[in-house]
Structures are given as C-alpha cells and as structure tokens.
Amino acid sequence: MTVKSLSSSPGPIGVFDSGYGGLTILSGIRRLMPEYDYIYLGDNARAPYGTRSFEVVRDFTRQAVEYLFSMGCHLVILGCNTASAKALRSFQQLYLPHIDAHRRVLGIIIPTSEVIGNITRSRHVGVLATEGTIKSHSYDIEIGKRYPDIQVTGMACPMWVPLVENNEASGDGADYFVRKYLRQLLESDAEIDTVILGCTHYPMLVPKIRRSLDELRPGVRIVEQGVYVAESLRNYLDRHPEMEVKCHRGGEVRYLTTESAEKFSENASLFLHERIEVEHVVLSDTMESI
C-alpha cells in the first residue's frame, strides 16, 4: 500500500478490534460524538488475540489498519487492549511513516492510564485483562509514567472472553470464573481500591464483577474504558483540527467482520442491543515487511 493509493477526502473514523469487545468502545464514542461516520472492523476469524505472540498481533493489526485506511479512514482507534499493548507503538513508529505520515492510529490504554490517578484513593490499582496485555506490562508502564506512586497489580482472566463471546456472560457458570480471578487479584494486594477492566469484553460481565467485589471487598471501584476513550478522542480532535476536518460527519456506521456476517450480527446484538447489517471482508498482507 502506498500513499498515492489512499484517498485524501474526509472519511469515517475507524475502530478495530480482534472481536466484539471493541463495540463497547465504539458505543462510548458514538454516545459522545454521534455526528461522525464510523467503520467498525472485527477480526473475528482470527480471534482471540490475547494468547498470540507479539509478532502475530502486530501483523494482524497492521493488516486491519491498512484495510481501514483503504476504506478512507484517516484516524483509526485500536479498540482492543491486546493490539494497543502489542502493536500500537511499532505501528506508529515503523509503519505509518511508510504508509501515510498524515494518518493516525490511537490506542485505548493511555486514556485510561491518564485518568486513573484521579480515581484511586489508596494508590493501589488492579488490572484485569488478557494474558497478552498483562504480559506486555503496558498498564504498569503507562500508569507509572504519569503516577509513579501508584502500585499496579495485573491479573490475566483467560476464561472471561470465551464466556462473553459464547453468550455465557449472564449464566451461572460465569460466576465461578469471575469470582476466581477477582479473589486472586485482591489476595495479591490487600490495598486495591480500584479495578481497571483492561479488556473491552469485560463490561459485559460488570453485574457479576460488581456483585463479587461487593462480597470480597466492598467499595472497590470499577473502571470501564469506553467513556474515557471517548472523552480522550474528543479532546484529541479539539487539539488537532487538521485531523478533525478529515473525519466525515454523517452519523453513519458500517460494520465489517472477517468471520460470518450473520454470526457477527447475532453476537453484536449482545453488545449493541440492536440488530445491525454486517459485511464480510478478507484481510491480507498488503505491505512488505519494514
């Protein structure tokens, strides 16, 4: 893909995730900024990303972002913590200058890290996320840059995404795994007063997470990312009018998936509470390695 092959006309804001979880990010953004056009791309055929290597996540993310660029997006949000942790920095530093230095790719870890200091009182924070995000130490690093006095404890929750994507988030079976990981997290640090949901699927489990926390340690705050990412994006566009004018205003949304369009539409209704039209797409490696 070359710069000449990319349109300079205003286009939609792209939101990418490995699956359905990024829909919670898109929903938060649309509530705050419904006037823009959006394209959501879920790489469901290759999900989950959480247990994949850094190299694989980087390649898959690059393919997805390139596809969204080809669809006219000048700005893409990685609505996936694993992609933000494993691929964002290399994409910004290595790939963007060769694709189009005027386009932008933003993640969702920094917006949450920026506000966490205003939420925790004990300065002890827990992060619940996929194995890939926890192993990347991205939250530790980003929070540490801004609030060196905050102690961050991470806990991988490998069963939570499958529970959500198999429509078991409200089932009795989910209670065991929600309580299991929360207990392990809280036992590792008795002073945690705030828990970050570091995976965009996890808001679907909030009722069970809230109930378990109230039993295990009443008063612990739950931090969901959607509202903070939306506010951060609005601030970004306010600070960068040259990018804002490249974001088309029409209030329309397109949904793309690398899996079955029918399956995506059915499962997406769990996150969006409405039926949507979905298009199937195929991602491929369009750019030589740099």
Question: Residues with catalytic annotation?
Answer: 80, 199
Residues in Cβ contact with 71 at an 8 Å cutoff, skipping those fewer than 6 apart: 11, 12, 14, 39
List the structure tokens of 36: 């823009």
Which residue, chain included where needed, has tokens 């903070």? 228
Radius of gyration of the chain (CA): 18
Identify the burial level of 244 via C-beta atoms within 10 angstroms of its C-beta, where 0-12 means exposed, 13-18 middle and 19 or more buried: middle
Amino acid, res. 225: Q
CA distance 115 to 142: 11
Classify residue 123 as left (phi > 0), alpha (psi -120 to 50) or beta: left
